[in-house]
Structure 1
Amino acid sequence: MSESTLETNSAIPPVVVLCEPQLGENIGMVARAMANFGLSDLRLINPRDGWPSDKARSTSSRAHHVIEAARVFDTVEAAVADLQLVFATTARNRDIPKPVVGPDEAATQSVAQGLSGISSGYMFGRERWGLNNDEVALAHKIVTLPVDPTYASLNIAQAVLVCAYEWRRVATAGVLPFSLEDYDGVPAAQDDIQRMFNHLEQALDARGFFRPLEKKPVTTRRLRNLFQKSDLTDNEVRIMRGVISCFEKYGVKNKGKG
């Protein structure tokens, strides 16, 4: 599949903002999740262990372009200053009157806005306790994942992965990076399939496969159905004809030894 097939319809990708992340390893895993789904703008607010981070780079699994382009800010306000649509991700109920959407709806809105040239971003909180209310207040909407409320805590990289996946799915209309649907040619014609099966039936008959003979009609129908369900291609039919021919030759060469 060509690279152009995976274009994200020119939608501006969302920014990922991490508020006071604690571990460089977690930042690296976030970068990896972003790179998996085509996001590259990572913004860090006061990372606890400083920046740059060798641990972040080593755990990014070669998503070095995200790590190297990451920017550090002193405040949330500065990190989101240029964004026109900001989502705050949280699994906790907040006493803040804001619309609450799932990651799928957030992705739909982000893509729609991105197609219009409007920049968006997702804010993610600290590993231990997430975003505070003042940070949530800076967002336009809250994103929450459909987690089990009895165990709602997600690793920060997992939360980023889900949101990035949903954005990519919407932006590319679910197009997969490759397909094997046509790897072996066009669907076989029914006439070719029938000739192949007749060939197989004759070969099996010669080897005494149909025993007892009174069950041959039932067995034949089941064999035919087996091949019909396989959606054979023309190349696969040719391969089967070659297999049957080899089977016939084997029977002749070893006649009386089986």
Structure 2
Amino acid sequence: MAGTNRSDENLAGGPAIILVEPQLGENIGMVARAMANFGLSDLRLVNPRDGWPNERARASASRADHVIDAVRLFDSVEAAAADLRYLLATTARPRYSVKPVRGPDSAAMELRRRFETDQPSGILFGRERFGLSNEEVDLADEIVTFPVNPAFASLNIAQAVLLMSYEWMKSGLGENAAPRFQAPEVLQAGKDDLYRFFEHLEATLDEAGYFFPPAKRDTMVHNLRTMMTRAGFSEPELRTLRGVLRTLERRRRLDEEAGA
């Protein structure tokens, strides 16, 4: 979805995103786009299969050019993570390792804590086909895994980066983790307007013979008023509904006059 204000300044910083031997330029571009969506900018590539720069990556990044232009290349995970103090490895599979395992929300909170105390951090993401090797996971401090369907646990690399990027941004919002925009508040109509609508509706239904048998009228009115009250109509909405009733009344009168 396109943003509402293209003049907004790009957020930048946060943990490094390290892709190990990514295969497709399109996936790298979608990773860059996901990072830009949530304020990350440090993308590091370890031996991308198709080399770098990659025009398919740029095209898929959908104008996340500041991420693409700042990409750094490395020939090993060790080199890519050398300047970091804390490193997470993403995996969907249980490992023999006894490393601590976090969910994405907990991992993002720990990344945020490290970031705020000036401890450079990063997240390792593996290859599209088989993820990270055990040896690569061994280089990380902790593991992060996602609560996915165990029968279908494989995530596209861009999806995995998107999930972690989202959690990263959310971790910095605290109690302000609300949607970026909301629908304007609609004030409910005053009770006098609501009660006049009740009278109008019930009179119209009386004329149409809706309340039948007459012995059940009170129960039917009660049910109608309960529904209408629960809806929380605004004053303009009540005016619209009363306009509908007036149209139906006018139509009924015309039909009666035509049949007279």
Shorter-chain TM-score range? 0.7 to 0.9
Contact 2:24 2:49 in 1 (8 A): yes
Match of 1:213 in 2: 214
Match of 2:182 in 1: 179
- After TM superposition, give the deviation of residue 233 of structure 1 in Å: 2.2
User: How do residues 46-57 of structure 1 correspond to structure 2 at under 5 angstroms?
Assistant: 46-57=47-58
Match of 2:60 in 1: 59
Match of 1:102 in 2: 103
Aligned-CA RMSD value: 2.9
Residue aligned with 1:229, SS: helix
- For each residue in 1:94-130, what CA deviation from the matched residue of structure 2 results, as whole angstroms up to 9, or x when unmatched? 3434211111210121223334444322110112222
5+ unaligned residues in a row in structure 2: which ranges? 6-10
- The verdict on how the C-alpha distance between 1:163 and 1:214 changes in structure 2, with shifts beyond 3 A counting, is same
User: How do residues 1-258 of structure 1 correspond to structure 2 at under 5 angstroms?
Assistant: 13-149=14-150, 151-173=152-174, 174-180=177-183, 182=185, 185-257=186-258
- The verdict on how the C-alpha distance between 1:193 and 1:170 changes in structure 2, with shifts beyond 3 A counting, is farther
| Most deviating of 48-57 and 135-144 | 135-144
- After TM superposition, give the deviation of residue 254 of structure 1 in Å: 4.1
Contact 1:11 1:114 in 2 (8 A): no
- The verdict on how the C-alpha distance between 1:181 and 1:171 changes in structure 2, with shifts beyond 3 A counting, is same
| Most deviating of 49-58 and 131-140 | 131-140
The separation in 2 between residues aligned to 1:58 and 1:78, in whole angstroms, is 28
Contact 1:28 1:59 in 2 (8 A): yes
Contact 2:19 2:124 in 1 (8 A): yes
Residue aligned with 2:19, SS: strand
Contact 1:187 1:231 in 2 (8 A): yes
Residue aligned with 2:178, SS: coil
- Ranked by relative contact order (alpha carbons within 8 Å, sequence separation 6 or more), the top structure is 1
Q: Which amino acid aligns with 1:49?
A: D
| Most deviating of 76-85 and 105-114 | 76-85
5+ unaligned residues in a row in structure 1: which ranges? 4-9
- The verdict on how the C-alpha distance between 1:190 and 1:110 changes in structure 2, with shifts beyond 3 A counting, is farther
The separation in 2 between residues aligned to 1:117 and 1:255, in whole angstroms, is 81
- After TM superposition, give the deviation of residue 234 of structure 1 in Å: 2.9
- After TM superposition, give the deviation of residue 160 of structure 1 in Å: 1.4
- The verdict on how the C-alpha distance between 1:26 and 1:12 changes in structure 2, with shifts beyond 3 A counting, is closer
- The verdict on how the C-alpha distance between 1:60 and 1:240 changes in structure 2, with shifts beyond 3 A counting, is same
- For each residue in 1:201-228, what CA deviation from the matched residue of structure 2 results, as whole angstroms up to 9, or x when unmatched? 1222233332333332222122112112
- The verdict on how the C-alpha distance between 1:172 and 1:201 changes in structure 2, with shifts beyond 3 A counting, is same
The separation in 1 between residues aligned to 2:116 and 2:12, in whole angstroms, is 4
Match of 2:8 in 1: none
- State the percentage of identical aligned residues: 50
- After TM superposition, give the deviation of residue 53 of structure 1 in Å: 1.0
